[in-house]
Structure 1
């Protein structure tokens, strides 16, 4: 299992965190999602077929464009 972390400046509240977790957990291969309002970081544990690129693409699609750390 691999892990990737992103900085997501658009995280402003608990609702943002909830939305990100719910959407990413539906992505095939994602095993766990942690998101934090204070640090604006999202950490994702995943395995194939998920990838850092597919995770980043989904974050962009739901209006939370990430920056890779």
Structure 2
């Protein structure tokens, strides 16, 4: 199990948080996701480090690239 926190400066409202969490839940191998408006961060827990590349790609595709 691997946990990683990304800084995502584009998070500006609750809708952003909901969109990120909803979209990332579709990633195969993702155990949990928590987006936070206050810290502008997204924390994910994945089965394998290889899944992190998919998480990063999807964040960029949906308009919330990690800094």
- TM-score above 0.5: yes
Runs of at least 4 residues of structure 1 off by over 6 A? none
- For structure 2, which runs of at least 5 residues remain unmatched after alignment? none
Distance in structure 1 (CA, Å) of the matches to 2:25 and 2:50: 11
Q: Match of 2:34? A: 34
Q: Distance in 1 between matches of 2:48 and 2:37?
A: 27
Partner of 1:66: 66
Matches within 5 A, 1:10-25: 10-25=10-25
Aligned length: 67
Q: How far, CA to CA, are the matches of 1:4 and 1:32 in structure 2?
A: 11
Distance in 1 between residues matched to 2:8 and 2:37, nearest whole Å: 9
Whether the 8 Å contact between 1:28 and 1:49 is mirrored in structure 2 is no
